[in-house]
Amino acid sequence: MRFTGKTAVVTGAASGIGKATCLRLASEGATVIAADIDDAGGQELAGTSNGKIIFKHCDVCSDPDIKALMDFAAEKTGGIDILFNNAGAGGAPEPIDRIDAAGWDRTMDLLLRSVAMGIRHAVPHMTGRPGASIINTASVAALSTGMSPTAYAVAKGGVLHLSKLAAADLARHGIRVNAICPGFIKTNIFTASMDLDAEKKAMANGMIAQLADAAQPVARGGRPEDIAGTVAFLASDDAGFITGTHILVDGGLTIGPRHSW
Ligand code: NAD
């Protein structure tokens, strides 16, 4: 119960990594403000939590929505101790010679500006709270050119760098800032924007999960709970001297397979 009496704000909370993190932090005593554009998913999550998880609609592409989220969390509970900037989706898929400005901007707004403004609007409610911790979801795509489309990878690279700069800026307020770089995690992100009926989507998710199970040296795909556990560590006092860095949680994806010689 490391987070008893603490408040956590989690974005992208209705599914995948965000949902697993809400459940993990709540299971360790936190009150969790769970934010998403998926109202049905967010309310369903909150409904199963005995009041420990409170859903708040928030589109992280909207600056007023983000400010309203942080103000709501502080009004409800008195302040914010843990912020997990996590909402996301696949960005514009085109290579740099075919991308258009609107797709580029959309990707940056969703994946990078959202994190900057999340931090911006949470900090007034985090300052002076012992152990305050911000965790941002980057990606293996931030560390490698081969993992994702260009705009997504650039945005995630920005999240990584922003995490370090924010850590430097906010150390004077006693707030730690770190990023997590997930590898191939079995969530709905790969099919979220596909126009498929529920049955076909479930089938596609199953096929992607099989790919994930075979993608890295560790003989299973990543689970949302793998990332949730890392968030809990970074949010806890066990990580009290860790700031301005990232943790790669990829089952060895980036080291590649080990061949026997
Ligand atoms: P997911 O699709 O399961 O969950 C993403 C959640 O974000 C959804 O609930 C969705 O409704 C929400 N969301 C999307 N746009 C939003 C917006 N504008 N405002 C608020 N909420 C919004 O996907 P996931 O895999 O859990 O992704 C979470 C984060 O992890 C993302 O930032 C993603 O880029 C990152 N990531 C995922 C993987 C992976 O393999 N799954 C790998 C690296 C990084």
CATH number, residue 17: 3.40.50.720
Q: Does residue 18 sit within a domain?
A: yes
Are 177 and 243 in contact by the 8 Å Cβ rule? The answer is: yes
- Could you confirm whether 152 is annotated as catalytic? yes
- Distance (Å) from CA 90 to ligand 1 centroid: 8
Give the tokens for residue 185. Answer: 């995690």
How open is the CA angle 97-151-210, to the nearest 5 degrees?
Answer: 110
What pLDDT, on the 0 to 100 scale, is given for residue 259? 72
Give the tokens for residue 122. Answer: 């949470």
For the chain, the domain total comes to 1
Give the residue among 113, 62, 73 at the shortest CA–CA distance from 91. 113
Q: Does residue 1 sit within a domain?
A: no
Domain residues for the domain of 160 are 7-256
- Distance (Å) from CA 86 to ligand 1 centroid: 6
Q: Does residue 120 sit within a domain?
A: yes
Q: For the complex shown, is ipTM > 0.85?
A: yes
- Distance (Å) from CA 12 to ligand 1 centroid: 6
139 within ligand 1 shell (Cβ under 6 A): yes
Are 52 and 46 in contact by the 8 Å Cβ rule? The answer is: no
Q: pTM for this one?
A: 0.97
- Could you confirm whether 156 is annotated as catalytic? yes
Give the tokens for residue 248. Answer: 């790669």
Q: Which bin fits 142, alpha (ψ -120 to 50), beta or left (φ > 0)?
A: alpha
Q: Considering 6, 56, 156, 186, which one is annotated as catalytic? A: 156
Mean pLDDT, 10 residues at a time, the chain of 261 residues = 98 98 98 98 96 98 98 98 98 96 98 98 98 98 93 98 98 98 96 91 94 92 98 98 98 84 66
- Could you confirm whether 139 is annotated as catalytic? yes
Q: Does residue 111 sit within a domain?
A: yes
What pLDDT, on the 0 to 100 scale, is given for residue 39? 98
What pLDDT, on the 0 to 100 scale, is given for residue 261? 66
Q: Does residue 250 sit within a domain?
A: yes
